[in-house]
Amino acid sequence: MFNFGVDYYPEQWPQDRWAIDARLMAEAGFNVVRLAEFAWVKMEPADGRFDFSWLDEAISVLAAHGIRVILGTPTASPPAWIMAKHPAAFRVREDGVRVTYGNRREYCPNNPTYQDYSRRIVQAMADHFTSQPAVIGWQIDNEFGDRCYCPVCLKAFQNWLSEHYASLDSLNEKWGTIFWSHTYSNWSEIPTPATTGHSPNPSLALDYYRFCSDSYVAYQQTQIDILRERCPQHFITHNLMGFGYDKINYFDLARHLDFVSWDNYRRTQWNLQADVDPARAALDADTMRGLKSKNFWVMEQQGGSGGWEIVSVAPRPGELRLWAYQSIAHGADGILFFRWRTARYGTEQYWHGLLDHDATPGRRYQEIKQMGAELKVIGVRLLSSTVKASVAMLLAYDSRFALQIQANNPDLRYSTHFSQIYHALHDLNVPIDIIAPTDDLSRYKLIIAPLLHVVTPQIAANLESFVVKGGTLLTGPRSGVKDETNVVVNMRLPGLLRSMVGVDVTEYDSLTPGMNQALHFVLPELEGCAGNAEVWCDVLEPSGAETVAVYTANYYAGKPAITLNHFGSGKAIYVGTLGDGSLHASLMPWLLRIANVDQNFRAPSGVEITERWQGDKRLVFILNHTDTQQEVQLHGTPTNLFTNAVENADPLILQPKAVLVLEM
Amino acid sequence: MFNFGVDYYPEQWPQDRWAIDARLMAEAGFNVVRLAEFAWVKMEPADGRFDFSWLDEAISVLAAHGIRVILGTPTASPPAWIMAKHPAAFRVREDGVRVTYGNRREYCPNNPTYQDYSRRIVQAMADHFTSQPAVIGWQIDNEFGDRCYCPVCLKAFQNWLSEHYASLDSLNEKWGTIFWSHTYSNWSEIPTPATTGHSPNPSLALDYYRFCSDSYVAYQQTQIDILRERCPQHFITHNLMGFGYDKINYFDLARHLDFVSWDNYRRTQWNLQADVDPARAALDADTMRGLKSKNFWVMEQQGGSGGWEIVSVAPRPGELRLWAYQSIAHGADGILFFRWRTARYGTEQYWHGLLDHDATPGRRYQEIKQMGAELKVIGVRLLSSTVKASVAMLLAYDSRFALQIQANNPDLRYSTHFSQIYHALHDLNVPIDIIAPTDDLSRYKLIIAPLLHVVTPQIAANLESFVVKGGTLLTGPRSGVKDETNVVVNMRLPGLLRSMVGVDVTEYDSLTPGMNQALHFVLPELEGCAGNAEVWCDVLEPSGAETVAVYTANYYAGKPAITLNHFGSGKAIYVGTLGDGSLHASLMPWLLRIANVDQNFRAPSGVEITERWQGDKRLVFILNHTDTQQEVQLHGTPTNLFTNAVENADPLILQPKAVLVLEM
Amino acid sequence: MFNFGVDYYPEQWPQDRWAIDARLMAEAGFNVVRLAEFAWVKMEPADGRFDFSWLDEAISVLAAHGIRVILGTPTASPPAWIMAKHPAAFRVREDGVRVTYGNRREYCPNNPTYQDYSRRIVQAMADHFTSQPAVIGWQIDNEFGDRCYCPVCLKAFQNWLSEHYASLDSLNEKWGTIFWSHTYSNWSEIPTPATTGHSPNPSLALDYYRFCSDSYVAYQQTQIDILRERCPQHFITHNLMGFGYDKINYFDLARHLDFVSWDNYRRTQWNLQADVDPARAALDADTMRGLKSKNFWVMEQQGGSGGWEIVSVAPRPGELRLWAYQSIAHGADGILFFRWRTARYGTEQYWHGLLDHDATPGRRYQEIKQMGAELKVIGVRLLSSTVKASVAMLLAYDSRFALQIQANNPDLRYSTHFSQIYHALHDLNVPIDIIAPTDDLSRYKLIIAPLLHVVTPQIAANLESFVVKGGTLLTGPRSGVKDETNVVVNMRLPGLLRSMVGVDVTEYDSLTPGMNQALHFVLPELEGCAGNAEVWCDVLEPSGAETVAVYTANYYAGKPAITLNHFGSGKAIYVGTLGDGSLHASLMPWLLRIANVDQNFRAPSGVEITERWQGDKRLVFILNHTDTQQEVQLHGTPTNLFTNAVENADPLILQPKAVLVLEM
């Protein structure tokens, strides 16, 4: 049975509605719900007084319809009675202002009082629900995030530093605090990098960002420990926020979870485009799969327009189902829609669920009900199947944090550059893993390391070993610039990567938009290819590498912009500039070729093809993200799993927003 | 005698200048001045020490020139000695920052200490001036506004809530505080919706906005009570800020005033366009007239470039007079220009008066002097005359506040949409009343209810009764969405208006600018009309209504966008989108037609025609707001009241910025 | 020996590197370094414990290579141990937020504790280094700036006011505090003009800006006094920030320095254009020269891309040398590049020095080394030479401050308008002095006084005397508007300048961009000239002046826009509008002509020609700022000082970025 369900808030609706909801859920094919992650005050209405009776009742109503339950620990949003009693538990923003009550995530994760309350409610829930058979697992808190700059965090940071550095002298030396006379003579003198001090020491700032990430990881661990002990039979997860969220090291946060969950929204208040980019959703999903190199759940799959004060563009007919299948195509083993019914009150009145405020089952409910019926047919075929990739991109949180602190150029953004490269690969319908720079690379043929700004000796050795053994590596500007403490290396760039890529960066130019320029490809097999240099130009001096492309303007016209180095049995490509889309479109097919990566599918723009393997059985997902009919040419005689019929694939005709799941 | 005058600050000029000023005023035809509304420190130079001698002297100089006096209570700007002693009386901004001394309106209206000082100075003034025969009335404070978020207000808000809700349980239920675990167990836990908590519960926020409005209303009432008791022979007013000001419910603020005054500026630092929109001034004036459904005064009519740090575009020759007549045309029974002479010091150095800094009577003085001479001729004809309208637009502060909290779409603004519809009607030279949704509607043939977001059963009944009895009603998207506590209704939209309009909103789409689309009119009498859908599209399913226009794009192409429902003896039109100007221009003539509203005048763009009725005598104002000569075709043989001559109206020739007042 | 060197931070590099650095410096021709201005914590690692041994050692290494030393007092960036102990010494921003530790310039200049620490470290340094023969002078602090709004400053401001005004009554009267009831009854009631009070009384604000400027001047003086006493043989300077910095009256700050130094950066994080405007650098240099009417040093001449978080566009080949010669051409007697080697850590990691992070001498080092060799040849020719100008522009900090407080128009900016006029003159290759309005004007033929907003009787008399004796003066709108306390004058504009310019401003219009209009020149000798009115239009009524140009649009079309008045033996030109570049380009050649100023050189756009005079020997600098070859036509047979050869100047061929120094 494929895990298919919805996020439900029985506490927000009259109890006599619960059975109707449960029936409609079952009719939609749902077999799992998430409950209670914002219901702290309902479970602990006063200090130390617990009441789970209403939740028992809700669970039994759902269970009666064959629906299992994931429970959220409710610590993302504390009751007013806690915060009124303990105002020091409120988070302090980067600008020094302490937040006030009335939203959620207002707590400081390092506050000991808040931690005490958190532990107590989690213990009480665990003790109560460990014996409830409908409960199958736990979600901890909700969408961890937001750095805190309060005095408790300051003290905790100073302690964290004293544990991470051999001595204060060592910290002073490694951070270079002699600059501007910042040398600390006592741990207690070390500040946070709050904006009230502006432009902090980059080493201090990077450590603070790591500390903030560690703080949430540690806070989560206190809850994991309780649940592991009391509910060993239940799984534990947390709902993360895809590729885009960049303030927690998600590899660390995922480490002690059983699997990763995440929240998948394509149309929200903060993303108001008329058209949705399918590659971005694919990147999110691949990132989530990569955190533990295993399948994941979508704990919140979009169920309607998303917005708080602003209503997003409405999901078009077919989109909700298409996006849910896209999640599965990239590795989801569970899909829960957010949320069942749109809230009539509170901040999220316009974050629409499958049902509208008035509970009428409408277009959205019917669309998902169709999917529920389909999954009853094909769900079993998806179990234990996985995505297999021979290409990986390295997601490096240290580098990402470091570039938040020093962007290098106003238009240099880690996520934008990473996404652009991902997009060019995704257009070729090649499976991609998103992994950490320290992960095992031996499974892959091609590794792409964008903006690998902070390079440790361990990372450098990992990459060299990969290339020496025959792998192909792509990296580029602003890589190898920093050591682990965010200090510029005392060597020619790209620093520790220099011998592997076989080039020296002798100079660099940081461009304004008007200074963009075309590249000229000199490698014969790339003759005629196009591509522009943008944002940044490294001026390269090969020390063994051959030149792939050269600059055509500025005082470094004619000098190498892209090089290829043979290193051991492998190849290292260095792209000295942040290119535009045309550059990546030119480079990616060539890279796949020289790395011997098969490109199995060709599809028109907007049609996505990806695979999951169930043992040696190959399940192919074909997703038409466009509003028009499309054609795809496949080889062989695939079986349509929805219909169990053999498809005529010469060509395959795809209706707008169509989803096909084929066995090849 | 028509009330014609100026705002004067004798305390800012040498005493030997007062008689010269008074003579120049009299020569300009002025018969009334406003004094003292910023002179607290001059009247109470130290705690409890009062000095009115200078003001007595100034009043006697003015009275000697036949000029009567309106006194302002000076509480809008406290002396430094009060605020230095009582820093807790400073207002706290929404971001949590307490303002400091040096501007005005820095006080918290709920601060009891400030209220004590306010009462004492008002009592002292009232006692002193009640027997001064030149004094005819009072203006309370100056331009009330600005929400406060201080601890005193927080406590007062909690009290306000305890008076407005039967119990804390009731509040929790009505606000839906179970969302995000916000349930309050004590009134004292309830916060303000400060931005430091961001995205508050919309129900809490709406109540806070109402509370802030009530706070100013109550603060004003403390002064009204004193003045009523001590000066029963004087009128009491307050100077409001037109249609644009949206933080106080002006119907409430106006209730216990004798009449409404307001401040009419068209060119200021905050409004730097080269061209002035006459419809916006008309909307302001009609709004002010509607607050008490009676004529009003303009307490500050623009007298020169308006600005503090920035000088506005200079009023063009003829504009000051034209705008003053426009005020009269829309119901002004008094006009005072702001200000007599431009201040040489202080924040408002560039808020120009009729005289420049150096007191030379120049172009502006001469222009207003001409008007003074004219009013001596026609003033008597204006007395007791009023505007009569059969069209009304409903101004709903609850809805306006609610849409401040949740805009629904980045381009959805209450004032913009309201103004656009008003503009289309104004272009047809139809008199318009602006009234409250709970006002008596029986006087009208056509009611327009834009963005009637919050609908109570009382409002719904008022509208239904109007339509049932034969009225024509226009409403549109985001109407009927919320109940009185700002919770989304538990029914199909437009909620309580649904049976009256005869349509269901089955879905809605919130547009980005690129998604705008043309509408197609299917009603035969509107064939060929144009109009675009913008910002928002309701997808409509008629349940009795006939379709007026349909969408032409997106997945709801072909579905109804505008409908007309026959309900009782009347008609209810629902426009499912926020249209552009062309849509309103298409709809309004048709609406007038089906509502049997006469369109008495036709005039070229930029020429405004409106009427006041003195008994059954009809006074017609023709105002050429353009820079070019215009022609207007009138029927009959009107008498020009300036000249007492019969005008050749076939056609009537209007010079640039011309003003004609005719009796038809 | 011409002073040529670099800013060096030995404390940031291993001691075994110092000798290598010193050798490379000497090879580059450097003979002076600046040290220690950010090394407080290294010199005083704990409260009262001083250690200069490392600095002694560094100085001796440098001295051994013939390099002399300027020492910076290190007070711009305090050690953490001071600020952790004395948090009240942190500066408070205009928005009321106290800054925190982690950057620099975080101190309040009026804080007595900070002043104590400052005096002690300066005394210790002075006592220690007075006998060190390699030391030649001192730089005090670093780039003074940033207004503070802390309680200590508030109290100091109140004291400052009590010293500047005869009485509180006098202050109340001069500031016009009766406006909005702000009359102060105690000095302690007077606030700062913090933004939490917004739109302050302009008189109060101007005095606060003066007070803040005076605070830094006084703080500097405490250090000057110590150094003068203990190190009478050393010079004392401070590094200022060119024309652009506008929060300190630089004439005051320069008064007690031996000479002015400044920091000259053309490409930084805050200035990311692809192309650099040479006129702006010239304006900076001329401003610095004018502060004391004598030659200056460049204490920080750009040595590489400038940036903190963002890397600037890279200086193009030849630019660093070209800009350094431009500094000399405008009066530099010393050039020190910032900095020697790029910092590997700290906030300024991307403020590049001559060497990169890894110390490899590259393109930039080689370019400056070439200049070092050239200066060995020509340096002696530069000694004691000076710039001579017969044109001066008046830089008025009071007016500049006043226009910060009240901009008058959103597009009216003192620096922009001043720069535009300077640019037009600079294009004509005319030497320009930038001086104070109270300076001796008798040396000049042409004085330009842009936006002379605040005019005292002393200034008016100075200008009148200049014109009466035959000088030519240009001034324009918003001049003469304010008296010394920032109050609008009680007379027709331009106030005290009115009789001199022979026109009355009868009205003014503040324009929005779309209202710009062409001027029509009516003076025969300017027939056909072009020029547009922008931002502001004074409507002029000549009372003796003749009309030069008239407006062509708006209700003042045909009225005078520019006038010329004969006054005494001289001429006063009034331009009633802020013109665009074409207007200034039209007016400047004519102004030079009527003022009898010689225009000695004509050069293509982007080629700058200027002179220094060594006695009666004329040294001509020709600088090709463009990327292309240029030609210049010179008269005579100049000697190229680099080669000692006579140049063929018919025409002179200039390579891109070429520098020529000729003796004519």
**Closest Cα in chain C to B12:** C178
Of A300, A464, A534, A608, the active-site residue reads A300
pLDDT at C302 over 90: yes
Interface test with C, best of B271, B276, B349 (most C CBs within 10 A): B349
How far is B70 from chain C, CA to nearest CA, in Å?
18
Q: How far apart are CA C201 and CA B77, in angstroms?
A: 13
Across the interface, whether the CB atoms of C362 and A506 are under 8 A apart is answered yes
Contacts B491 to A, Cβ<8 Å: 358
pLDDT value, residue B240: 98
Residue C333 pLDDT class (50, 70, 90 cuts): very high
Give CA–CA dist A605/A589, Å, rounded: 15
To the nearest whole Å, the CA of C520 is away from the closest chain B CA by: 22
Residues of C in contact with A186 (CB under 8 A): 81, 84
- Which one, of A493, A588, A502, lies nearest residue A543 by Cα? A502
pLDDT score recorded for residue B650: 84
Of C402, C441, C442, C434, the closest CA to residue C418 belongs to C434
Res A648: pLDDT: 82
pTM: 0.97
Is the predicted pLDDT of residue B239 greater than 90, yes or no?
yes
Contact C98 A508 (CB under 8 A): no
Q: Would you place residue B637 in the very low, low, confident or very high pLDDT band (cuts 50, 70, 90)?
A: confident
> Neighbours of C (≥3 Cβ pairs closer than 8 A)?
A, B
What pLDDT is stored for residue B352 in this prediction?
A: 98
CA nearest neighbour of B221 among B283, B308, B144 = B144
Peptide bond connecting A651 to the previous residue in cis, omega within 30 degrees of 0: yes
Query: Tell me: the pLDDT tens digits for C79-93?
Result: 999 999 999 999 999
Q: Are A354 and A304 in contact (CB under 8 A)?
A: yes
* Tens of pLDDT, residues A518-576: 999 999 999 999 999 999 999 999 999 999 999 999 999 999 999 999 999 999 999 99
* C-alpha radius of gyration, chain A, whole number: 26
pLDDT of residue B343 exceeding 90, the answer is yes
Q: Which chains touch B (3 or more CB pairs under 8 A)?
A: A, C
Q: What is the pLDDT of residues B536-578, one digit of tens each?
A: 999 999 999 999 999 999 999 999 999 999 999 999 999 999 9
Cα-Cα-Cα-Cα dihedral sign, residues C74, C77, C83, C84: negative
Nearest-by-Cβ selection for C345 from A487, A492, A511: A487
Average pLDDT score, chain C: 97
Q: pLDDT by residue (tens digit) across A481-498?
A: 999 999 999 999 999 999
Contact (CB<8Å) C488/B360: no
Q: In angstroms, rounded to a whole number, what is the distance separating the alpha carbons of residues A10 and B532?
A: 42
| pLDDT at residue B246 tops 90 | yes
pLDDT in tens, B487-533: 999 999 999 999 999 999 999 999 999 999 999 999 999 999 999 99
Nearest CA in chain B to C490: B358
Q: Exactly one of C106, C300, C319, C534 is catalytic; which is it?
A: C300
A261: helix, coil or strand?
strand
pLDDT of residue B387: 97
Element (H, E) at A237: strand A235-237
Whether C525 is catalytic is no
In a 13 Å sphere around the CA of A57, the CA atoms on its Cβ side amount to 14
What is the residue type of B433? D
Q: What is the pLDDT of residues C34-58, one digit of tens each?
A: 999 999 999 999 999 999 999 999 9
Interchain pair C41, A178: CB under 8 A: yes
Inter-chain touch B510–A311, beta carbons under 8 Å: yes
Which of B184, B510, B514 is nearest residue A80 as measured by Cβ atoms?
B184
- Per-residue pLDDT at A636: 83
Percent of chain A residues past pLDDT 70, beyond the cut: 100
Nearest by CB: C510 against B46, B305, B308: B305
User: How far is C-alpha B15 from the chain's CA centre?
Assistant: 37
B635, pLDDT greater than 90: no
- Partner residue opposite C80 with nearest CB, options A184, A202, A508: A184
Residues of C in contact with A200 (CB under 8 A): 102-103, 347
pLDDT reported for residue C414: 98
Average pLDDT, integer, range C99-124: 98
Sheet with A639-640, strands from edge to edge, namely A607-614, A617-624, A659-663, A639-640, A645-646
Say yes or no for a CB contact (<8 Å) between C309 and A405. yes
Output the pLDDT for position C319. Answer: 98
Interface contact B346-C180, CB threshold 8 A: yes
Q: Give pLDDT tens digits for C552-591.
A: 999 999 999 999 999 999 999 999 999 999 999 999 999 9
Give the confidence band of A30 by pLDDT, cuts at 50, 70, 90. very high
Would you call A196 and C346 a contact, using CB atoms and an 8 Å cutoff? no
B380: tokens are 């008597």
Determine, for residues B100 and C191 on separate chains, whether the beta-carbon distance falls below 8 Å: yes
Q: Confidence band (pLDDT; 50, 70, 90) for B234?
A: very high
Cβ neighbours of B569 (radius 10 Å): 10
Q: In this predicted structure, what is the pLDDT of residue A199? A: 96
CA B291 from centroid of its chain's CA atoms: 8
Residue C614: CB atoms within 10 Å: 15
H-run or E-run covering B163: helix B151-164
Task: With beta carbons under 8 A apart, name residues in chain C contacting B350.
Answer: 406, 408
List chain A residues with CB under 8 Å of B202. 345-347, 349
Nearest chain B alpha carbon to A315: B509
Smallest CA–CA distance from A106 into chain B, residue: B197
Per the DSSP assignment, residues forming a β-bridge with C271 are C268
For residue A437 the two structure tokens come to 């720079």
End-to-end, the C-alpha distance of chain C in Å comes to: 22
B172: pLDDT confidence band, cut at 50, 70 and 90?
very high
Option in C178, C508, C514 nearest B12 (CB): C178
Q: What pLDDT does B636 receive?
A: 83
Burial B414-450 (b: 16+ CB within 10 A, else e): bbebbbbbbbbbbbbbbbbbbbbbebebeebbbbbbb
Mean pLDDT confidence for A602-624: 96
d(CA A637, CA A659): 17
Return the pLDDT at A650.
84
- Write out chain C residues lying below 8 Å of B314, CB-based: 507-510
Please report the pLDDT score of residue C436 as a whole number: 98
Q: Do C406 and B346 touch (CB under 8 A)?
A: no
Nearest to C341 by CA among C369, C324, C362: C362
| pLDDT single digits (tens) C144-185 | 999 999 999 999 999 999 999 999 999 999 999 999 999 999
Residue A94 annotated among the catalytic residues of the structure? no
| Cα separation values, C300 from B482, B500, C8, C316, Å | 64, 77, 11, 18
Catalytic residues of B: 143, 300
Q: Using a CB-CB distance cutoff of 8 angstroms, which residues of chain B are in contact with residue A143? A: none
Q: Quick one: pLDDT at residue B137?
A: 98
Q: What is the pLDDT of residue A649?
A: 78
A553 CB-near residues (< 8 Å, 6+ apart): A517, A518
Cβ separation of B490 and A347 shorter than 8 Å?
Answer: no
Pairing of strands B296-302, C432-435: unpaired
The answer, yes or no, to whether residue A165 has pLDDT greater than 90, is yes
The answer to whether B488 contacts A357, with C-beta atoms less than 8 Å apart, is yes
Token output for C284: 């900076």
- Mind listing the pLDDT tens digit for each residue in C644-664? 999 887 899 999 999 999 998
Whether residue A664 is predicted with pLDDT greater than 90 in this model: the reply is no
Q: Give the residue on A whose Cα is nearest the Cα of C270.
A: A410
In chain B, which residues have their Cβ closer than 8 Å to the Cβ of C578?
none
The residues pairing with B355 across neighbouring beta strands, listed in sequence order, are B341
Nearest C-alpha neighbor of B638 from the set B664, B658, B660: B664
pLDDT value of residue B612: 97
Q: Are strands B639-640 and B645-646 parallel, antiparallel or unpaired?
A: antiparallel
